[in-house]
Structures are given as C-alpha cells and as structure tokens.
Amino acid sequence: MWLEEDGGVWADYPTVPPDDHMLPLVWDGDRPVSRGELGARGCVLSRIAVCRTDLVTTFGMPQVNGSAQYASVWLDNERGVWADYPTADPTEDLVLPLVWAREQTDSRSDLAERGYVFTRIGRSL
C-alpha cells in the first residue's frame, strides 16, 4: 500500500508477469461502522497513515459534513484497510472499508512522471 503525497491511498496491482501497476483505494459503501463495533467483533486496527479529507474526496469519499480536516487510514488484523469517516461529532468514531477501484489501474512510473510522489505505508495479503 502506498500513500500519495496529496492524500490518496493506492495499492499495488499484482500482474503476471509482475508490473508496476497500481489501483487507488476508494471508500466502500455508505454505511460507516464504529471502531467500538469492530473491536467487539475482534478486529484490531493499527493506524498506518493520515490523509487530508479535502484531498481524499477525489478517491470516492462519501459526501459527509467534512468538518474533520484529517482522516486516518487503518489496517486491521485481517489485512483489511479502513479510513475514518469524518463527522461533526468526533465521538461517533466511524470508519469505512477501503477497496480497490479496479477500473482505475495506472502505472506507478507513469504517475511518477506526472508528479505523484508515493510513500509505502504497509503491506496487505
């Protein structure tokens, strides 16, 4: 997984033979779940990155209040990727899963030529 300097989260796209293609990770669905509920299910989240919320909107973030300036990206103990769901009430503590946007694959080297800068933030199985 990669964090793009402008806040996008990307994942390597495994191909045969190996290539340098990547996919953006986008918000999955419109029903956020609380971290407390995930904890009750035995899910343990580890923060792996922080993105500015005004920048992740281009990667499929649902229309929300948007009062939060930053959204954390979380990796769970089963290698699922989640992102904060910012609301006006920080006590809600909501997250949404992130999934690959399969129709948006792009070459990392092509993206780098266009000025994208990536930092590896984790690995998933």
| 54-63, 65-74, 79-88: least confidently modelled range | 54-63
Of residues 30 and 106, more confidently modeled: 106
Half-sphere exposure of 75 (CA within 13 A, CB side): 12
Total-model pTM: 0.74
Residue 69 burial (CB count, 10 A): 10
Residues 90-111 pLDDT 10s: 788 888 888 888 778 888 889 8
Question: Do residues 93 and 35 lie in contact, with contact meaning Cβ atoms separated by under 8 Å?
Answer: yes
Whose tokens are 């946007």? That residue is 101
How far is residue 6 from each of residues 29, 46, 118, measured CA to CA in Å?
23, 21, 9
Asked whether the CA dihedral 27, 29, 34, 40 is positive or negative, the reply is negative
Mean pLDDT of the 61-77 span: 70
